Amino acid sequence: MQHLNGASQERVKKKKASPNRLGATLTLILFMVGLPVLSVIGMEFLERGSMSQTMSWLTANQPLFVLNVILTFCLLALVYAIVGSLAISGAIATAVLGLMALISYMKVKMIGEPFFPWDILLNKESMDIASLVTGKAALIRIIAVIIIVLAVLALRWVIPRVTIPIIARAGLGLISLYALYAFGIKTPLASKVIDHAGVSEIVWDQQQNYANNGLALAFTLNVKNSIVQKPDTYNESAIASAAAGIQQAEVSGATGAGLKKAVSLPAGKKPNVIFIMSEAFWDPTLLTNVKFSEDPVPTIHRLQKESATGYLLSPQFGGGTANVEFEVLTGNSMSFLPGGSIPYQQYVSKPLPSLASYFAGLGYKSMGIHSYEGWFWDRNTVYKQLGFETFKSSEYFTNPEIKGYFISDAEVARNIIAETDKTENPMFIYTVTMQNHGPYDEPRYGENKYKAEGNLSAQAKSILETYTQGAHDADQSLQMLIDHYAESDEPTMLIFYGDHLPMLGMDYQVYKEAGFISTSNANAWTLEENKKMHSTPLVMWSNFTMPKEGLGTISASFLGAHVLDMLQLQKPANFTLDSEVAKQTPGLLGNLVIDSNGELQAKAPESMQPLITDYRNVQYDLMFGKQFLANYIDHEYLTKSSQPNYNSELTAAADGGHAEAEGARKPAASQ
């Protein structure tokens, strides 16, 4: 009888357990499906800022929405396989996805670019800039993400406890990891799924890419863009053909006397060549419906009447200074690299021919000067690979003047003067300033002298006036250099320009209110608006005779070749090719081409493609390929290694200073 009662109790327990297992299974399924669905909706809402826009995207792009859900499910499943708790896994996955959406939202608002996989490598750079970004909308989003993460975590005490065997969890984790990998590198199977869903990658316009495909999918698809794919046209015969074209261009240039105008230099003297890339420098008087109490940039306006001037077509807006440096120094174009990539961070890991290595080969001292910390954008190591002998970052400035948040532009000018005055050899200096880096929300220069008048909100007026005060200081630092070298017996050439337009408020606030652009939606800009939002003033000055000429609007990647032409120097192979491309397409961005007649087009016409293909192939050869070009032309320049004494001058001086300071702290008897 006891045995029968025991069996009966066991059956009752099983009957009770069965519904519990069913409930736990349903909970697992609902959680693993429901949370990714809600996460995708939440991420898109955070980035788009409007639930109606989010739902419009979802209903119009259901297959893309499903792919985003699948990817977020894979992330959740991978975390669950490792952690083993539904609620904790959900909280972790939600925190990761929420952080992605927050970063993307803030990047788009600041500089018009979403969050990329390679941004993870920026570590200190992104944190440093993030510390300067504030705003009510951003804070609301951050608080919302924190609340949602805590709410998901609180489900630990609400939902039934679910356990699955460790082998099943491991299998789920491996499948999820492989799925993320497959979409990240776009395996053949993943490619079929992507094509079937109607995914259209727009790598040259990443903001549109994310808007069309959704944050999770666009971010994952960009993983493969961390490695630049070899062009289909790249091989040794293509490079040999490009080399032949370069050699022919060199012969034509040498015999075409009409192509070069007279430059008068003192006999036997090489000029100092000084590039000044002024942080976020632009001419605020170009704003359509705004007037200022007085001219904030008189030096620029005077030079625009007296010397060689034009506009630099920048590949960036509001940030990404290193990419403009990359184009000017190497002559390479960002338009051949994945949208949003940072070559300094991702690709420059070996010696790369540049203006620095070229001038070093002519007997110049090649020096970089930047009034910020050397680790930023990896300049410490990249400048070595570009052939600089010395890189003077803020760590090597002595008691510098600070204006606003950063070292002043006047202090940078004083350092340029000091370096050229104490150096016997002619100098090539590439200078990057920092004083007028954003944000401009607070009047950080005290009383702003230059008052803006126009139909602007109080916030926009304050932002513009703070920026304009900094632009005036940059203008005056250029005048300081002109005043010095006008009295110097060292022939010197100054090339001054801004790296990109400043970010004047979120959503292009000042530009929109001033009528400079018609909409804050960058994807809806006309070609002319796109050109305006990427064009910074470019002026040149020298204390020796140089022709006054209008440069028009030229891409940053073509500036170096143009300067070498003005100095009547024989250009190396890659800069010769730059000159040839610039004759057909003086302006070349991923989504904007300016032809030789000044006409604007969204992409280069077929007639220009052969030369642009050579340009792309040569760039790939120098950066990632087998360096075939060096077998045909300019072998020594193209294969030059970094300078073995890189920065030894400054590090030795710094070590000596530290030793002296240590000695000063010791008792007199021990010195």
**Cα→Cα distances 5→11, 14, 434, Å:** 10, 14, 85
521 three-state secondary structure = coil
Is there a contact between 575 and 566 (Cβ–Cβ < 8 Å)?
A: no
For 58-72, the pLDDT digits (tens) are: 998 899 999 999 999
Identify the CATH number of the domain defined by range 271-654: 3.40.720.10
Task: Please work out, in degrees rounded to the nearest 5, the angle formed at the alpha carbon of residue 279 by the alpha carbons of 277 and 284.
Answer: 105
Is there a contact between 333 and 615 (Cβ–Cβ < 8 Å)?
A: yes
Residue 45 has a CB neighbour count (10 Å cut-off) of 18
**Cα→Cα distances 397→372, 407, 411, Å:** 10, 9, 9
Among 3-12, 358-367, 373-382, the range scoring the smallest mean pLDDT is: 3-12
- Could you give the CA distance from residue 595 to residue 615 in angstroms, rounded to a whole number? 16
Domain boundaries, the chain: 2-226, 271-654
Per-residue model confidence (pLDDT) at position 655: 64
Per-residue model confidence (pLDDT) at position 138: 74
- pLDDT above 60 for 330: yes
**Cα→Cα distances 505→45, 82, 497, 501, Å:** 21, 42, 22, 12
Q: Is 398 left (phi over 0), alpha (psi -120 to 50) or beta?
A: beta
- pLDDT above 90 for 122: no
* DSSP code string of 266-330: -TT-PPEEEEEEETT---GGG-TTEEESS-S-HHHHHHHHHS-EEEEE-S-SSS-HHHHHHHHHH
- pLDDT above 60 for 258: no
Per-residue model confidence (pLDDT) at position 16: 44
**Of 574, 577, 537, which is closest to residue 554 (Cα–Cα)?**
537
Per-residue model confidence (pLDDT) at position 35: 87
**Of 334, 377, 320, 326, which is closest to residue 355 (Cα–Cα)?**
326
Q: What percent of the chain has pLDDT over 70?
A: 88
- pLDDT above 90 for 116: no
- Could you give the CA distance from residue 176 to residue 81 in angstroms, rounded to a whole number? 9
Per-residue model confidence (pLDDT) at position 657: 54
447 three-state secondary structure = coil
The alpha helices in 487-555, defined as continuous H runs, are 509-513, 527-532
For 585-618, the pLDDT digits (tens) are: 999 998 899 998 999 998 888 889 999 999 999 9
Per-residue model confidence (pLDDT) at position 375: 85
- φ, ψ of residue 497 to 5 degrees: the values are -165, 165
- pLDDT above 80 for 379: yes
- Could you give the CA distance from residue 102 to residue 252 in angstroms, rounded to a whole number? 54
Q: Please, what is the average pLDDT of the chain?
A: 86
**660 falls in which pLDDT band (50, 70, 90)?**
very low
For the segment 149-158, the average pLDDT, to the nearest whole number, is 84
- Could you give the CA distance from residue 238 to residue 353 in angstroms, rounded to a whole number? 20
Is there a contact between 549 and 494 (Cβ–Cβ < 8 Å)?
A: no
